[in-house]
Structure 1
Amino acid sequence: MKAVDVRAMSEDQLNDELLKLKKEQFNLRFQQATGQLEKTSRVKTVRRDIARVKTIMRESAKAKA
């Protein structure tokens, strides 16, 4: 996910995307704990996507204030 794509999303879409990413992160952690995780690099990618979405949400909130 690119920052340009995230910036194009509305606030509701950002909240939905954040929720989806957090669920995926939980599932990946669960798979890793049980030894079923195949793509270990996906954990890092999801963490960065969560940080990217949170950062852009914060930037847009500051711009409104």
Structure 2
Amino acid sequence: MKSSELRDLNDKALREHIATQRRDLFGLRLQHATGELENTAGLRSGKRALARAITVARQRGIDPNQKTADNG
């Protein structure tokens, strides 16, 4: 997702996107550790996508580590 698309999201949707990106990145790291990951470039793009979302959240003054209502 592009930065401009992330900026269009409301705060709740941005927090959910960050949580989803973290789950996806965890899954990629797990697959990489077990040798199941074929496309290792996905790790790099996943990290960048998460960093992009966290950056947008911090620019808005949102705590990116805060749990969402349905998540925690």
Asked whether the two chains share a fold, i.e. TM above 0.5, the reply is yes
User: Corresponding residue for 1:59?
Assistant: 59
Corresponding position of 1:6? 6
Alignment of 1:1-65 (within 5 A): 1-61=1-61
Between the aligned partners of 1:23 and 1:56, the Cα distance in structure 2 is 19
Identity between Structure 1 and Structure 2 (%): 31
Structure with more of its chain in helix, by fraction: 1
Distance 2:58 2:30 in 1: 29
- When normalised by structure 1's length, the TM-score is 0.89
| Paired residue type of 1:60 | R
Deviation (angstroms), 1:27: 0.5
Code of the residue aligned with 2:53 in structure 1: it is V
CA–CA distance in structure 2, aligned partners of residues 38 and 17 of structure 1:
25
What are structure 1's unaligned runs of at least 5 residues? none
What is the RMSD of the two structures over their aligned residues, measured on CA atoms? 1.2
Q: How many residues align?
A: 62
Runs of 4+ aligned structure 1 residues displaced above 4 Å come to: none
